[in-house]
């Protein structure tokens, strides 16, 4: 097989795009993408009303802020599902393999417990404030925003359980073998 040149002998540029495969995109990714596009449209509308029509739509700033919160919390589940959190694997290189295995299991369990605790505390807060706390400009309950955060935490908890299951089934995690990915199972 001959290697394809990016620039041929006559100086012409040649490049081919790889095929795009979105089949492994998780549901949370599509939701975050939809929220992101709605956020973009809202900010565009805000720009048009402020700078073109010189009559700013007051609601757009608040709604855009809440959509950004939604993108972050729902989108964070993508990082959890890909196991892309910041991690320090330095100590795993210098500890015995058995100890590293148990430490990585502990990390999996603590990550699950953290997200489950976040779900519980968000739910408690939502129940405590009820529908009496309203958004500033848009007359809707703040629990809509907190509900999106709850959904994000629940998705992260579920994806953490899935990640732990993969780690336990294959016998190692990315902490123990930083060169591996979840797709290696």
Amino acid 6: pLDDT = 78
Q: What is the pLDDT of residue 183?
A: 67
Q: With both helix axes pointing from N to C terminus, report the angle between 27-47 and 143-170 in degrees, rounded to the nearest 10.
A: 150
Give pLDDT < 70 ranges for the chain.
1-4, 181-185
pTM reported for the whole predicted model: 0.83
DSSP for 98-147? HHHHHHHHHHHHHHHHHHHHHHHHHHHHHHHHTTTSB-SSS-SBTHHHHH
CA 85 to chain centre: 10
């Amino acid at each position: 097989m001959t290697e394809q040149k990016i620039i041929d002998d006559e100086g012409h540029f040649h490049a081919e795009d790889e095929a795009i495969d979105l089949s492994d995109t998780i549901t949370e990714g599509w939701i975050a993408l939809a929220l992101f596009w709605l956020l973009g449209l809202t900010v565009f509308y805000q720009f048009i009303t402020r700078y073109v029509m010189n009559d700013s739509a007051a609601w757009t700033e608040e709604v855009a802020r809440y959509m950004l919160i939604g993108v972050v919390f729902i989108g964070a589940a993508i990082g959890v599902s890909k196991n892309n959190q910041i991690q320090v694997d330095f100590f795993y290189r210098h500890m015995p393999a058995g100890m590293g295995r148990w430490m990585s299991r502990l990390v999996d369990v603590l990550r699950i417990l953290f997200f489950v605790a976040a779900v519980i505390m968000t739910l408690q807060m939502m129940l405590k404030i009820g529908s009496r706390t309203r958004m500033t400009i848009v007359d809707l309950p703040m629990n809509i925003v907190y509900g999106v955060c709850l959904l994000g935490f629940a998705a992260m908890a579920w994806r953490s359980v899935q990640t732990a299951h993969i780690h336990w089934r294959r016998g190692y995690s990315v902490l123990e073998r930083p060169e591996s990915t979840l797709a290696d199972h």
